[in-house]
Amino acid sequence: MRAMGELLLSNLEYKSFSDFASDLLGPWAGYFTGWTYWFCWVVTGMADVVAITAYAQFWFPDLSDWVASLAVIVLLLTLNLATVKMFGEMEFWFAMIKIVAIVSLIVVGLVMVAMHFQSPDWCGSVIRAFVE
Give me the residue spans of the domains in the chain: 1-81, 84-132
Q: What residues have CB less than 8 Å from 69, skipping those under 6 apart?
A: 49, 50, 53
Query: Predicted confidence band at 109 (pLDDT cuts at 50, 70, 90)?
Result: very high
Residue 126 above 60 pLDDT? no
Question: Which pLDDT does position 7 carry in this prediction?
Answer: 79
Q: Side-chain half-sphere of 2: how many Cα atoms within 13 Å?
A: 0
Residue 132 above 60 pLDDT? no
Whether residue 7 contacts residue 19, with contact meaning beta carbons closer than 8 Å, is answered with no
Query: Predicted confidence band at 112 (pLDDT cuts at 50, 70, 90)?
Result: very high
Question: Which pLDDT does position 130 carry in this prediction?
Answer: 63
Other CB atoms within 10 Å distance of the CB of residue 46 = 12
Residue 100 above 90 pLDDT? yes
- Interaxial angle between packed helices 2-10 and 17-25, expressed in degrees from 0 to 180 and rounded to the nearest 10: 70
Q: What residues have CB less than 8 Å from 53, skipping those under 6 apart?
A: 65, 68, 69, 72
Query: Mean pLDDT across the chain, nearest whole number?
Result: 88
Other CB atoms within 10 Å distance of the CB of residue 14 = 16
Percent of the chain with pLDDT strictly greater than 90: 50
Question: Which pLDDT does position 79 carry in this prediction?
Answer: 84
pTM: predicted TM-score of the whole model, two decimal places: 0.61
Sign of the alpha-carbon dihedral angle for 115, 116, 121, 127: positive
Listed residue (66, 101, 98, 94) closest to 79, CA to CA: 94
